[in-house]
Amino acid sequence: MKIKLSPVHFLAISSLLIATTTTASESEDCGCDYTLPSSHYAFDGATQGISVGQTLCLAPGKRGPIKLSNIHGAKDSPITVKNCGGVVETTPYHYAISIQNSTHMNLSGTGDESNYYGIRLGGTLGIEKRSSDIEVNNIEIYRANFAGIMAKTDPTCELNTQAGHFTLANLNIHHNWIHNTQNGEGMYLGYTGKYRTLTCDGTQQKVYPHDLQGLRVHNNLVHNTAAEGIQANSLTEDILISDNRVSLYGQAPFAIYQNNGVQIGGDNVVLQNNVIDTGSGNGVIAIGKNITINSNTIINAGSYGIFADNRPENGTIVGQAGLAHQYLNNTIIDSAQEGIRSYVRLTSNNNLVHGNTIINDGLPNKYNEPKFIHYLNNDVLRDEQNNHHIIRK
């Protein structure tokens, strides 16, 4: 899926770029080194001179969209951006917060003990323009015009946006509440598609998107999304998506097949302990190599509970398609089609299909076969153990 959001036209008035210094009481209450008043729309870390380990506070109250740029912490000493003394709420807009050219930053809604979600965003939270190593927690996002969280840098003719020159790493998204997206996903993480075709210096060429590595998505609530609940693509290594609850996904998809609970595109992924409840598409769609789907509960999927593929290139022979998948100890209830359907084939080892429980009404699928576990053909190497098909009476 390829979607380009229009840029936010932030006010270019110099007074809006100046953060205030904190008072003694503010510093004591929230540990603020800088405070961005509700009337101010942007903070440039380079201009303001913010240093590693410091804290930028957002004054409470309603405000317009916010642009946070050039904020660079360090691995063991990130810069914190948080609410202070009450809830920060942006009025509904295309983008609510845009994080640009920033690294090692924590955007947190934990600045008021009486409000679990201390930042409420009426629009998309964007992590873009080569931003990396960003943590996002305790934020409510509602009525986003497209995706609730969008984290990616589209590849352009500039080398520093392309694969091999930039990696979006160590994105940590947890304990957020995302609901009622109007056109897109709850989370749209990483670029979708193998490449873009652009004209660069008068020559048409393919430009390849950055990798997404070290991703953590956990303990989030994602509810009532137009398209996918969580979509993560361009994944290459060290990916964990766990302990989320995704419900009412794919309620108004903008295109066919954009209606799944969790969509995985890439390699070396663990999806575990999630509850994926009621939607129009697959509970999980997983396209890639070495993917483990473990101990999830998938309820009322509009198609397959789990659909998986590795899409080997033409001419691939047995053993050359990389590491297989593992589907372990999942509970899949009342999927419209099979509980598990796997096209992961020609792999170097067996797909492990162990300990899954699939519960449904016992009616056959469109091929007059039980809606249990099915494979494309015998090219799908597998080891099946202790799976159970329970027919509800």
> Do the beta carbons of residue 33 and residue 55 sit within 8 Å?
yes
What DSSP character marks residue 163? T
d(CA 69, CA 352): 45
User: Which amino acid, one-letter code, is at 226?
Assistant: A
Q: Give the mean pLDDT of 385-391.
A: 97
The pairing of beta strand 211-213 with beta strand 167-169: parallel
Which residues fall within 8 angstroms of residue 374, CB to CB, at 6 or more apart? 338, 340, 341, 342, 365
Residue extents of the structural domains in the chain:
282-392
User: Which run of H or of E encompasses 389?
Assistant: strand 388-391
Question: What pLDDT is stored for residue 18 in this prediction?
Answer: 43
d(CA 126, CA 110): 19
Question: What pLDDT is stored for residue 37 in this prediction?
Answer: 96
C-alpha triplet 293, 295, 300: angle, nearest 5°: 85
Question: What pLDDT is stored for residue 154 in this prediction?
Answer: 92
Question: What pLDDT is stored for residue 151 in this prediction?
Answer: 98
Examine the pLDDT at 177 and tell me if it is beyond 80. Answer: yes
**Bigger pLDDT: 28 vs 226:** 226
Examine the pLDDT at 17 and tell me if it is beyond 80. Answer: no
Q: How confident is the model at residue 308 (pLDDT cuts 50, 70, 90)?
A: very high
Examine the pLDDT at 286 and tell me if it is beyond 60. Answer: yes
Question: What pLDDT is stored for residue 14 in this prediction?
Answer: 31
Q: Give the mean pLDDT of 150-162.
A: 93
Examine the pLDDT at 19 and tell me if it is beyond 70. Answer: no
Question: What pLDDT is stored for residue 94 in this prediction?
Answer: 87
Question: In whole numbers, what is the pLDDT of the chain averaged over residues?
Answer: 92
C-alpha triplet 8, 14, 18: angle, nearest 5°: 95
Q: Give the mean pLDDT of 349-353.
A: 98
Q: How confident is the model at residue 89 (pLDDT cuts 50, 70, 90)?
A: very high
Highest average pLDDT, of 15-19, 193-197, 291-295, comes from 291-295
- The pTM of the full predicted model, rounded to 2 decimals, is 0.92
Return the number of other C-beta atoms located less than 10 Å from residue 384's C-beta: 14
Q: How confident is the model at residue 5 (pLDDT cuts 50, 70, 90)?
A: very low
Examine the pLDDT at 121 and tell me if it is beyond 70. Answer: yes
Burial category of 75 from C-beta neighbours within 10 Å (exposed 0-12, middle 13-18, buried 19 and up): exposed
Q: How confident is the model at residue 71 (pLDDT cuts 50, 70, 90)?
A: very high
Question: What pLDDT is stored for residue 87 in this prediction?
Answer: 97
